[in-house]
Every structure is written in structure tokens, then in C-alpha cells.
């Protein structure tokens, strides 16, 4: 690159003229943008303005103020900041659904000796004792006090109804409340006492409609988010109609992912339904599936809300790839999340694992200690246009790493060749170029060098990179119509994760 003189040639006073540029050259390769956006409807206590306000938050407390304590946006933010306290996060609140989901649990009768109830709401548990002499209403009040005491950690409120009745209400209107799972049961009956309404895992009911993210997504325009987390209901995520919010988020992402100031963005959606319904959604064209910029993470029967799983996955990717853009997260333990009530029944079988991962669904399972772990993080892209299996974009790290490389070139190329002029490659490359003039050969050399740096970092496959260089697959050429435009093609083969080992052990005869 031509040297910019420190002292103008017209200066006549002798001496050494010095300049130090601490930021000379282009920036080193490394992690790109990792900003996260949370789209979640607020409760009545949240102070966000629906659909139009985008706010930067720096803590879970900020999210509590914005969305209201215990709402999905707050719970998602808690997980994000637990994992990565320095995470860059913006929040937007779409207008909520129509009606509230509710559940009534009823205590009746009386114990003859102290009776204990196991209470479980969204995986948060307690043991509440029904003492001899306490009325059903007094006992119900103890459960109500415990529930409301977890205001920052539960998406519900509770209040007394008729004698012995405790009413549980979702904090936010809409289908999202129907995903809240409650179980309250007595360990043993000592007298005539009963606790009915949720003796087995029971979901709240009566929540209707989902928010429309269309307007809320426009509030994100102007800033790039590596991960957008739409806090959706299971009903919304599994909806295969064109109106669902996975489709709307995908449309928003695709609108801005090319051209000047391209925003390379992705969405992460959580789901706690069945493998079959998750697979039905991810490859479906109308639902916004079969898309490399989207990921659905599934925990079958998970007690945590779907948005909590989405937040865990998004920040897990953001944090891991900030250290290694091609990080292998297979087997990563799921912290701060609550799995199924019935691990045995809801642990994915080998067949379900193949179906889910092959169908574009990231899957959560359980180890021998019943701890949840990520089986494999995959994109929603799983099919060809004719419905055949397509594994070209299986692992999410393919997208993360390619986006980092693209963002790096988006920044580095203008820094390396500022205010330059372009001329064709010379037949004699030793001929000196005029000041601030470069050739396609110069640009190509810089890009290839940059790609080998990514290979040294363990992101790009060095062997395939060298093959691409030797084959002339790197293309840098002056546009035949516009001589001021340079067209560039950069092949990038990302190193795959070590996912499997096939071991055969042969007994050797003595």
C-alpha cells in the first residue's frame, strides 16, 4: 500500500518528522458483532412503550424494569446476564395477546397430622406444610405467599379465590401463558385433606392469540443483532401458517442481510412441545423454517418457558463464539433451566434424536445424572427444495463463523484500501503503481492472507482453503460495466465439530 508522507515534500526545514499510528493497518481478525435482541411482551408493570421503543439494557434489573418482573423478557435476560454479564442486549416489547391464561387449584378438608405438598411452577419448587388446625384457606394462602414471593422468577401471580381456592394467572396476556406448567400435590393424605387442580403437570389455560412482531421488528432497524430472540408461545412456534412470528422474523432478517451495511442476523426460538411438531415447523416454508438464519431449540416437556431455552442457546452461542468463532458446543450442560417432570418419558430416544437433528431442530437431552445437555446445535435448514435431506448447513457454527469472516472483511477491506483507485492487473507485477492505486491482485492477496489467518485460528479448513487458492476459486475482478466496482468471491470452508467416533474393538486370539 502506498506510503502517506509524515512530512509534506514542500517543507524545507531539516530534521526527523515523527508520527505514531497505534491503529495502523486493518484490525486483527476476531469475534464480530454479538449483540442480542429480546422481543417479548411486557406486563402491566413494565415501562417499555409497545412496538416502538428499543432500549439498551445492561442487567437483568434493567429487563425487570422494562418488561416487568418475572415476565419472559426478564427471565430471558436473567439467563443471558448470568452467562455473560457483559452481553450487549437491546429489548423491544410487542403488544401482547388478547386474554390471560389461568389455573385454579383447590384445597379442601383437613389433615389429622402435618401434611406436605410439593409445589412446582415452571420448575421452581417448594414444600409447603399443611399444619393440623389450618383451614384450607390458610393453607392455600401459604402457597400463594410462596408464589408471589418469587415475583422476580415466575411468570405468574397468585391470589385467593373462594374458600381454599388459589388462582394462578399468567403475567402477560396471550397463548404464551398456556405454556406455564404447574404441579401441586400432597405427598400423602393424613386425614380428609385434598389438593386438586394440578395433581399432575398441568398447563394454565385460556390465554388466546399471539403478538404480531411486524411492528416491533421495525424498531430493531438501524442496529445489527447477531441473535434475535422472539419470545414465542409453543402455539406460535408450531404454527405452519404464513402468519406466524418465526416467518415474520425471518422476513425481517432477509430484508436486511445483503447490500450496503448488510446486517448479518439470526433468530433463535425455544420450544417445549414434541419432536414431531417441532420438525413439522422447522422445514415448512410458510412457517419460516428450512432457513439457515434460524434455530429452534427443543426440550421435550421442559418446565422452563420456551423463551428461557432460546435465551440460553443464544447467549451460549454468543459467548462461545466470541472466544472461538467455530466453537464446538456439543454436550454443553444447560444451566439455569428446568427440564421435564418425567425425564424417563421425555428423554429423546435415539430415533427421536435422529429425527429432530435431521429435521432442523436443536435438541436437549439428559445424561446419566439427569442433567440436561445440548445434543447438537443445528440450523432450521434441513431440506432441499424437493424435500430431500440437505446437510450443507447443519451446524449453527457454520453460520456463526461465516458471519464473523464476512463482518471482518466488511470492516477490514475499507480500512486496508481507503480512498484508493483501482486499475487492472499488470502483466509485469514489478511495475510500480501510482500513489493510492491498487489492483485486483493486491486485493486478492490481502483477502487470501486474511483467510489464512482464520485458518490459523482454527475456524477455516486450511487444506480446503489452499485447494481453493490453487484452483483459482478466489475471484477478484473489475466489473465489466462499472470500472469503479470490484466483484469478489471468497470461498470459506468452516472446520466441522467433532461430533462422532466410530470405534471397532477386535478381540485378538491368545
| Same-domain check for residues 143 and 190 | yes
Is 487 inside any structural domain?
no
Burial class of residue 459 in the structure, from the number of CB atoms within 10 Å of its CB (0-12 exposed, 13-18 middle, 19+ buried) = buried
| Same-domain check for residues 174 and 228 | no
Cα dist from 445 to 332, 371, 480, whole Å: 38, 49, 21
Is 424 inside any structural domain?
no
Eight-class DSSP state of 476: E
| Same-domain check for residues 273 and 294 | yes
Domain with 243, as residue range(s), is 36-96+210-400
| Same-domain check for residues 299 and 387 | yes
| Same-domain check for residues 81 and 179 | no
| Same-domain check for residues 109 and 78 | no
Is 196 inside any structural domain?
yes
Q: Which residues of 357-379 are buried (b: 16+ CB within 10 A; e: fewer)?
A: bebbbbbbbbeeeeebebbbbbb
Last residue of a domain, one of 370, 400, 430: 400
| Same-domain check for residues 91 and 120 | no
Last residue of a domain, one of 354, 378, 400: 400
| Same-domain check for residues 156 and 225 | no
Is 250 inside any structural domain?
yes
| Same-domain check for residues 115 and 218 | no
Cα dist from 138 to 109, 164, 166, 385, 417, whole Å: 12, 7, 11, 61, 75
Contacts of 496 (CB under 8 A, 6+ apart): 395
Share of the chain above pLDDT 90, in %: 84
Last residue of a domain, one of 149, 173, 203: 203
Chain segment 15-53, per-residue pLDDT in tens: 777 766 655 555 666 656 899 999 999 999 999 999 999
- The model's confidence at residue 381, banded by pLDDT at 50, 70 and 90, is very high
Q: Which residues pair with 93 in a beta bridge?
A: none
Nearest to 358 by CA among 340, 376, 334, 333: 376
Is 44 inside any structural domain?
yes
- And the C-alpha cell for 238? 408450531
Helix (H) or strand (E) holding 321: helix 306-323
| Same-domain check for residues 241 and 364 | yes
Domain count, the chain: 2
- And the C-alpha cell for 433? 503503481
Q: How far apart are CA 110 and CA 112, in angstroms?
A: 7
Pairing of the two strands 181-186 and 202-203 = antiparallel
Is 408 inside any structural domain?
no
Q: How far apart are CA 330 and CA 317, in angstroms?
A: 11
Mean pLDDT of 58-66: 98
Q: Which residues of 166-185 are buried (b: 16+ CB within 10 A; e: fewer)?
A: bbbbbbbbbbbbbbbbbbbb
Chain segment 260-289, per-residue pLDDT in tens: 878 899 999 999 999 999 999 888 777 777
Is 455 inside any structural domain?
no
Q: How far apart are CA 193 and CA 234, in angstroms?
A: 35
Helix (H) or strand (E) holding 398: helix 396-416
- Tell me the CB-side half-sphere exposure of residue 371, using CA atoms within 13 A: 8
pLDDT at 211 over 60: yes
pLDDT at 14 over 90: no
Chain segment 130-158, per-residue pLDDT in tens: 999 999 999 999 999 999 999 999 999 99
pLDDT at 2 over 50: no
| Same-domain check for residues 138 and 244 | no
| Same-domain check for residues 140 and 216 | no
Is 373 inside any structural domain?
yes
Amino acid at each position: 500500500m502506498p506510503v502517506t508522507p509524515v512530512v509534506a515534500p514542500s517543507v524545507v526545514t531539516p530534521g526527523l518528522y515523527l508520527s505514531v499510528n497505534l491503529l495502523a493497518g486493518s484490525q486483527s481478525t476476531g469475534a464480530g458483532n454479538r449483540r442480542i435482541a429480546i422481543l417479548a411482551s411486557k406486563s402491566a408493570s413494565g415501562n417499555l412503550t409497545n412496538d416502538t421503543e428499543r432500549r439498551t439494557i445492561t442487567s437483568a434489573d434493567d429487563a425487570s424494569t422494562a418488561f416487568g418482573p418475572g415476565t419472559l423478557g426478564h427471565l430471558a435476560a436473567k439467563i443471558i446476564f448470568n452467562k455473560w454479564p457483559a452481553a450487549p442486549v437491546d429489548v423491544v416489547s410487542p403488544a401482547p395477546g388478547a386474554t390471560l391464561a389461568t389455573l385454579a387449584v383447590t384445597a379442601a378438608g383437613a389433615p389429622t397430622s402435618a401434611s406436605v405438598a410439593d409445589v412446582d411452577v415452571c420448575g421452581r419448587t417448594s414444600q409447603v406444610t399443611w399444619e393440623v388446625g389450618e383451614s384450607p384457606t390458610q393453607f392455600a394462602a401459604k402457597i400463594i405467599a410462596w408464589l408471589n414471593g418469587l415475583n422476580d422468577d415466575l411468570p405468574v401471580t397468585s391470589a385467593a379465590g373462594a374458600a381454599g381456592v388459589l388462582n394462578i394467572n399468567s403475567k402477560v396476556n396471550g397463548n404464551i401463558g398456556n405454556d406455564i406448567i404447574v404441579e401441586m400435590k400432597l405427598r400423602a393424605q393424613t386425614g380428609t385433606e385434598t389438593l386438586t387442580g394440578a395433581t399432575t403437570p398441568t398447563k394454565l389455560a385460556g390465554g388466546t392469540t399471539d403478538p404480531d412482531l411486524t411492528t416491533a421488528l421495525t424498531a430493531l432497524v438501524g442496529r445489527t443483532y447477531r441473535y434475535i430472540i422472539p419470545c414465542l408461545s409453543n402455539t406460535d412456534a408450531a404454527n405452519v401458517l404464513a402468519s406466524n412470528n418465526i416467518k415474520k422474523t425471518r422476513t425481517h432478517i432477509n430484508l436486511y442481510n445483503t447490500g450496503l451495511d448488510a446486517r448479518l442476523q439470526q433468530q433463535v426460538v425455544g420450544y417445549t412441545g414434541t419432536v414431531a411438531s417441532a420438525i413439522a415447523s422447522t422445514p415448512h416454508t410458510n412457517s419460516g423454517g428450512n432457513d439457515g438464519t434460524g434455530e429452534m431449540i427443543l426440550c421435550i416437556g421442559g418446565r422452563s418457558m420456551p423463551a428461557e431455552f432460546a435465551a440460553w442457546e443464544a447467549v451460549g452461542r454468543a459467548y462461545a463464539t466470541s472466544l472461538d468463532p467455530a466453537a464446538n458446543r456439543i454436550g454443553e450442560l444447560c444451566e439455569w433451566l428446568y427440564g421435564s417432570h418425567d425425564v424417563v418419558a421425555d428423554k429423546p430416544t435415539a430415533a427421536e434424536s435422529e429425527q429432530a437433528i435431521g429435521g432442523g431442530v436443536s435438541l436437549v437431552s439428559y445424561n446419566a445424572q439427569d442433567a440436561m445437555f445440548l445434543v447438537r446445535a443445528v440450523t432450521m435448514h434441513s431440506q432441499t427444495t424437493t424435500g430431500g435431506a440437505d446437510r450443507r448447513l447443519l451446524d449453527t457454527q457454520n453460520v456463526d463463523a461465516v458471519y464473523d469472516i464476512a463482518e471482518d472483511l466488511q470492516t477490514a477491506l475499507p480500512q486496508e484500501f481507503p480512498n484508493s483507485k483501482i486499475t487492472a492487473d499488470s502483466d509485469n507485477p514489478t511495475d510500480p503503481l501510482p500513489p493510492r492505486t491498487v489492483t485486483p491482485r493486491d486485493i486478492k492477496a490481502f483477502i487470501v492472507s486474511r483467510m489464512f489467518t482464520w485458518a490459523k485460528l482454527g475456524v477455516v479448513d486450511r487444506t480446503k482453503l489452499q485447494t481453493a487458492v490453487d484452483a483459482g476459486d478466489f475471484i477478484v475482478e473489475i466489473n465489466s460495466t462499472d470500472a469503479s466496482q470490484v466483484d469478489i468471491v471468497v470461498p470459506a470452508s468452516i472446520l466441522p465439530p467433532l461430533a462422532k467416533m466410530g470405534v471397532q474393538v477386535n478381540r485378538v486370539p491368545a
